[in-house]
């Protein structure tokens, strides 16, 4: 047990006071205050040899701080063990996240700075929200209404000329879309992004020889994409939010020569709405403290993608419509029309490779993880927050399946 030592001011204080000019004959404090100083000096004079020196004082202070710190650390460990025995992992995350949000609301800027230094990703601010999923689903419903303009009464395709402006915007405040490509199975539009030299692109198309489940799973399975997409250099899930199923993905891809390869750090979230017969996948770029920039690649900081799939019948029967909305800033020095040409030609090529990979997985019975069966945790009513670092085993819950129990498309 730590025993407090009797402490007296160091002798150097007495020496300093003793060297000062005498009180008599000079302006100074009142007599009462002067008498107190004289009493203090007399107390110093009693046993000056036993007064600890400066080095002894520092050692005592260090010992005291070490003792108090050790006590606090042991107490924190005991509290952590107690909560670990009483509460489940989900309840502990809910408790800690509530405390974190309370602290974050009062010190928002300090929290971001602390998170950057400690390498913590703030899921509370960066996760894909329900509103983003809902907005993408509404865009799909609007496009289905507009698509009737491109079919005659007999259901035949009506081909429109290039550069045709068709109002496919959901609100009047948005810029109108300009049709760039009109094929039998898909249509491609673009519109300028306000304040930049870039475009946002939108593809609305149909496939009839593959199931929605296969097409959806092939997009999400990062391991399978490494096999069918030759442009991929690196594609890994870095971290997962246990509350909503959002994932942080690091993607490095080749760009046409002589440009440097690009790397993307983005968060994605998917939702399977069986009631409305919809599948939604939303992605956008984020900053992750655990993935610093690599001088070999060019970091793309502006990136958004929304894919919505509407089955013609069910998730396991051939035939579906899809809506892909995409925009990014690859940070090239090429003119605007060159970038537009690369994206306009590259997007249909990517969709065709995605379609071929889905057919290949079906015909060759390649095991692709079924993300519809392995549905992420949906807990919008709970205020809890959790995260898991990847790679690692998929989290288990009542609504999910273990890796050994996953079904495959």
* Structural domain for 217, as ranges: 126-151+175-362
**What's the total number of domains in the chain?**
2
pTM above 0.85, yes or no: no
Q: Helix H segments across 8-88? A: 11-19, 31-46, 54-86
- Interval 314-332 mean pLDDT: 92
Same domain, yes or no, for 105 and 186? no
* SS3 at position 242: coil
Same domain, yes or no, for 216 and 358? yes
State which of 151-160, 176-185, 231-240, 252-261 shows the largest mean pLDDT.
231-240
Please say if the pLDDT value at position 343 is more than 80.
no
Asked whether residue 385 is domain-assigned, the answer is: no
Which range among 5-9, 211-215, 301-305, 396-400 shows the weakest confidence by mean pLDDT? 396-400
Give percent of the chain above pLDDT 90: 34
Asked whether residue 264 is domain-assigned, the answer is: yes
Same domain, yes or no, for 117 and 145? no
Element (H, E) at 265: strand 262-273
| 354/350 Cα distance (integer angstroms) | 6
pLDDT higher at 49 or 142: 142
Asked whether residue 387 is domain-assigned, the answer is: no
Same domain, yes or no, for 305 and 235? yes
Task: Give the phi and the psi of residue 175 in degrees, each rounded to 5.
Answer: -70, 145
| 402/404 Cα distance (integer angstroms) | 5
Same domain, yes or no, for 270 and 318? yes
Q: Which of 121, 143, 163 is the last residue of a domain?
A: 121
pLDDT digits 0-9 by tens, 212-248: 999 999 999 999 999 999 999 999 999 999 888 899 9
Q: Is 6 exposed, middle or buried (0-12, 13-18, 19+ CB in 10 A)?
A: exposed
Same domain, yes or no, for 144 and 226? yes
pLDDT value of residue 54: 59
Cβ(304)–Cβ(291) under 8 Å?
Answer: no
Same domain, yes or no, for 107 and 132? no
Please say if the pLDDT value at position 335 is more than 80.
no
Please say if the pLDDT value at position 369 is more than 60.
yes
| 248/225 Cα distance (integer angstroms) | 16
pLDDT value of residue 52: 54
pLDDT higher at 228 or 155: 228
Asked whether residue 17 is domain-assigned, the answer is: no
Same domain, yes or no, for 76 and 139? no
Same domain, yes or no, for 205 and 107? no
Same domain, yes or no, for 80 and 144? no
Distance in Å from the first CA to the final CA of the chain: 66
pLDDT digits 0-9 by tens, 268-285: 999 999 999 999 999 999
CATH number at residue 192: 3.30.530.20
Please say if the pLDDT value at position 392 is more than 70.
no
Cβ(143)–Cβ(136) under 8 Å?
Answer: no
pLDDT value of residue 356: 93
Please say if the pLDDT value at position 326 is more than 60.
yes
Asked whether residue 162 is domain-assigned, the answer is: no
* SS3 at position 125: helix
Same domain, yes or no, for 322 and 335? yes
Asked whether residue 181 is domain-assigned, the answer is: yes
CA dihedral 22, 26, 32, 37 (to 10 degrees): -30
Asked whether residue 156 is domain-assigned, the answer is: no
DSSP state of 151: B
Same domain, yes or no, for 191 and 114? no
pLDDT digits 0-9 by tens, 102-141: 665 565 555 555 555 455 777 888 889 999 999 999 999 9
Asked whether residue 311 is domain-assigned, the answer is: yes
């Amino acid at each position: 047990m730590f025993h407090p030592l009797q402490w007296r001011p160091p002798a150097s204080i007495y020496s300093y006071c003793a060297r000062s000019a005498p009180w008599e004959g000079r302006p100074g404090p009142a007599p009462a205050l002067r008498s107190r100083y004289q009493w203090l000096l007399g107390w110093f004079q009693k046993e000056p040899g036993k007064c600890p020196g400066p080095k002894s004082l520092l050692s005592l202070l260090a010992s005291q701080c070490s003792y108090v710190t050790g006590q606090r650390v042991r107490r924190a460990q005991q509290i952590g063990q107690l909560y670990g025995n009483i509460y489940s992992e989900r309840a502990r995350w809910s408790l800690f996240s509530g405390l974190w949000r309370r602290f974050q609301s009062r010190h928002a800027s300090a929290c971001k700075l602390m998170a950057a230094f400690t390498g913590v990703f703030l899921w509370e601010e960066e996760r894909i929200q329900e509103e983003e999923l809902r907005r993408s689903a509404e865009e799909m419903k609007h496009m289905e209404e507009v698509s009737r303009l491109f079919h005659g009464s007999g259901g035949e395709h009506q081909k429109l000329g290039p550069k045709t402006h068709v109002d496919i915007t959901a609100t009047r405040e948005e810029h109108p879309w300009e049709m760039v490509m009109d094929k039998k199975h898909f249509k491609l539009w673009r519109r300028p992004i306000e304040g930049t030299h870039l475009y946002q692109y939108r593809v609305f198309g149909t496939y009839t020889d593959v199931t929605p489940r296969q097409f959806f799973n092939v997009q999400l399975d990062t391991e399978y994409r490494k096999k069918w997409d030759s442009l991929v250099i690196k594609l890994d899930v870095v971290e997962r939010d246990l509350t909503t199923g959002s994932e942080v993905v690091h993607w490095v891809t080749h760009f046409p020569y002589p440009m440097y390869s690009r790397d993307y750090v983005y968060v994605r979230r998917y939702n399977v709405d069986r009631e409305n017969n919809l599948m939604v996948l939303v992605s956008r770029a984020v900053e992750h403290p655990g993935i610093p920039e690599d001088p070999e690649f060019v970091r793309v900081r502006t990136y958004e993608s929304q894919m919505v799939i509407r089955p013609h019948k069910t998730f396991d029967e051939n035939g579906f419509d899809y809506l892909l909305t995409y925009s990014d800033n690859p940070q090239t020095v090429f003119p605007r029309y060159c970038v537009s040409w690369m994206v306009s030609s590259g997007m249909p090529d990517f969709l065709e490779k995605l379609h071929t990979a889905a057919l290949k997985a079906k015909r060759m019975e390649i095991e692709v993880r079924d993300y519809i069966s392995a549905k992420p945790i949906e807990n919008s009513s709970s205020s809890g927050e959790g995260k898991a670092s990847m790679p690692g085993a998929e989290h288990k819950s009542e609504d999910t399946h273990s890796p050994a129990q996953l079904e495959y498309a």
